[in-house]
Structure 1
Amino acid sequence: MDMLADVAATIIAQMQKPTLAFLIGGMMLAALGSKLEVPEPVYKFIVLLLLLKVGMGAGISVREADFVELLVPGLLAVAVGVTIVLLGSRTLAGFKGVSNTDGMATAGLFGAVSASTLAAGMSILDGESIYYEGFIAALYPFMDVAALVTAIVLAKMAAARKSASSVQGGVMTMGGDTPINRNAKEDAEIEDGLIKGILTDTLKSSAISALLLGLALGFFARPDSVYASFYEPLFRGLLSVLMLIMGMEAWSRLADLRKVAHAYVIYGLTAPLVHGMIGFGAGLIAHHMTGFSAGGVVLLAIMAASSSDISGPPTMRAALPEANPSAYVGASTGLGTPVAILSIPMFMALADWAIGF
């Protein structure tokens, strides 16, 4: 009973936080038939500012970290983010009735990182006087960007293949009579061209471009003053407006989710634990290779277990506008985040058993 009460309390607390509260508020406005609209140029400007802020914050963290110490954990963080998305492509996105785009957008958010969940983990370790590396905060952009880009590329590839197969649904002919036959080599060349084109388009897209630009500015330039005086104060307010917009859109597409809602519930409740164990395993590898601390292993597991509530939603909304926000935000912030936070003591116990604090 105590465990159920803790879960209920955590879910209620998450619903009161701006990310989910404004999403629900937007859904309520749409349900009541409100005519409130946010002009598209205003929405795009908000997304630009949010992603530049997230990227700059990450770039500053990476710049201030020791690159040599960061290298192995950083590469492992990239591998974890990509692995989580690939796993989601085989589980949730492959579930009967689940839209591939919705599934990949959700997997992308689960592969990315929640800064608030990471901060909660750091706070708990600080309270227990458990040591962890000072560069841990710099690891999240590695996992974050890798997961988001992978999810977007895979979603666009699946959509392109589906479009191509629908065009080729019958027998393709040349001049109306002669069937077109391609060998395996030609098919492979077409596939390679498709992948390169989608990857290029993804990296050039407004969302990823803004995120990468912010990352580069934070790392190579010295934007600390404008970051602290302009971007940081505006961030929470702009994020709340964005979630309000996504909430209104989510309500209009809620009917699409009803038949497969159980798939998102199962994924949202189980994925953080599975992903956290993947991150924990990566942390153990880093420990044996470089002496990565037990506290660092715990925080890498927490990063993997968490799901993005800041950089992920605007990135997916901009890069995959056809994806349903009620699916990917509801599963990640509504279910995944409480489970990730409640799993922190488990990862601490595992690290103490495997390594010792």
Structure 2
Amino acid sequence: MDILLGIAATILEQLQKPTLAFLIAGMVLAAAGSKLAVPDPAYKLIVMLLLLKVGLSAGISVREADLVALAVPALLAAAVGIAIVLLGAGSLARLRGVGREDALATAGLFGAVSASTLAAGMAMLDDAGIASEGFIGALYPFMDVAALVTAIVIAKLGMARNAAAAGAAGGTMALGGGPRLGGVEKGLVPGILAETARSPAISALLAGIGIGLFARPDAVFDSFYEPLFRGLLSILMLVMGMEAWARLSEMRRVAHAYLAYGLLAPLVHGLLGLGAGVAAHHLTGFSEGGIVLLAVMAASSSDISGPPTMRGALPGANPSAYVGTSTGLGTPVAILAIPLWIALAGWAVG
């Protein structure tokens, strides 16, 4: 009974946080027939500012870290982010009735990282007296960006294949008209990668990372981007809530698939992160606390960088699928699982 009460309390706490509260408010407004709308140019500006902030924060974190000690866990974190998306592409995206673009956007958010969940993990480690590396925060962008870019590339690759197949079926030349290797047109994957890098969402994210890494934008970051961030994110979530309500009917037939994924994926992903942390421990002496936090990052799902990135790069994906599943289900499970990762990490290095 205590466990059930704990789960209910955690879910209620998540509902009261701005990310979900504004999303739900948008859904309520849409359900009531509200005419509220954010002009498209303003919306695009909000998304650009949000992603520049996320990129700047990531670049500054990496710049200030010990790059030698960071290298191995950073590469493992990126590998975990990519693996989570590939798992989603091989599981959720293959279920009947689940849209592939929706599934990949959901997997991308689950592969990315929740800053609030990571902060909760750090607080629990402090309470338990377990130390961790000072550069742990710098691992965030490696897992985050790797997962988001992988999800977007796979989704766009699938859309390009479908477009090429439709063109061929209609008697027109397939995309590019070039030779094909293993069923994939030669040059298609590099083209998709280049297109993804040039897309507004990823361009803003990469620009922020580059500026944060190679310049000194701390003053403008602290005075402009950081104070605006939460307010801009709340507007984004309000708009996404209205969109989610308009497309909620698309999920009714497959809601059970997202429910199962939201409840089980954080545990599977956390085990991947735990395994990567144990590998880093044996390779470089990565700490017990570091192992726990790598598992926490892998188990979490993005509530900050992910939604605007997916909205900008995959506008056809359904927000009620990827935001509802990740923030509404995945986040509470990830937070409740933190004691599990503490116990397993202690056993692994004990």
TM over 0.5: same fold?
yes
Deviations 1:297-334 (A, max 9, x none): 00000000000000000000000000000000000000
Task: Please state how far the C-alpha of 1:169 moved relative to its aligned partner.
Answer: 3.0
The one-letter code sitting in structure 1 at the alignment partner of 2:165 is: S
Task: Please state how far the C-alpha of 1:187 moved relative to its aligned partner.
Answer: 4.0
CA distance in 2, matches of 1:91, 1:315: 22
The one-letter code sitting in structure 2 at the alignment partner of 1:161 is: R
| TM-score for both structures, normalised by structure 1 | 0.95
Query: Which residue of 1 is the match for residue 252 of structure 2?
Result: 258
Tell me, what secondary structure is at the counterpart of 2:302?
A: coil
Task: Please state how far the C-alpha of 1:163 moved relative to its aligned partner.
Answer: 1.9
Tell me if 1:298 matches 2:317.
no
The one-letter code sitting in structure 1 at the alignment partner of 2:329 is: L
Runs of 4+ residues over 3 Å off in structure 1: 184-190
Query: Which residue of 2 is the match for residue 158 of structure 1?
Result: 158
Task: Please state how far the C-alpha of 1:126 moved relative to its aligned partner.
Answer: 1.1
Tell me if 1:267 matches 2:225.
no
Tell me, what secondary structure is at the counterpart of 1:257?
A: helix
CA distance in 1, matches of 2:61, 2:278: 23
Structure 2: gaps spanning 5 or more residues: none
Task: Please state how far the C-alpha of 1:26 moved relative to its aligned partner.
Answer: 0.2
Tell me, what secondary structure is at the counterpart of 2:295?
A: helix
Tell me, what secondary structure is at the counterpart of 2:107?
A: helix
The aligned runs of 1:180-329 (5 Å cut-off) are 186-188=180-182, 191-329=185-323
Query: Which residue of 1 is the match for residue 126 of structure 2?
Result: 126
Moved more, 267-276 or 119-128: 119-128
Task: Please state how far the C-alpha of 1:189 moved relative to its aligned partner.
Answer: 8.8
Query: Which residue of 2 is the match for residue 177 of structure 1?
Result: none
1:323 to 1:173, Cα distance in 2 relative to 1, 3 A: closer
CA distance in 2, matches of 1:236, 1:186: 47
Task: Please state how far the C-alpha of 1:355 moved relative to its aligned partner.
Answer: 0.8
CA distance in 1, matches of 2:98, 2:172: 33
The one-letter code sitting in structure 2 at the alignment partner of 1:92 is: L
CA distance in 2, matches of 1:335, 1:133: 29
Task: Please state how far the C-alpha of 1:108 moved relative to its aligned partner.
Answer: 0.2
1:139 to 1:44, Cα distance in 2 relative to 1, 3 A: same
Query: Which residue of 2 is the match for residue 95 of structure 1?
Result: 95
CA distance in 2, matches of 1:309, 1:167: 37
Query: Which residue of 2 is the match for residue 135 of structure 1?
Result: 135
CA distance in 2, matches of 1:31, 1:189: 45
State whether residues 179 and 186 of structure 2, in contact with CA within 8 Å, keep that contact through their aligned partners in structure 1. Answer: no
Name the % identity: 69
Size of the aligned set, in residue pairs, is 347
Query: Which residue of 2 is the match for residue 110 of structure 1?
Result: 110
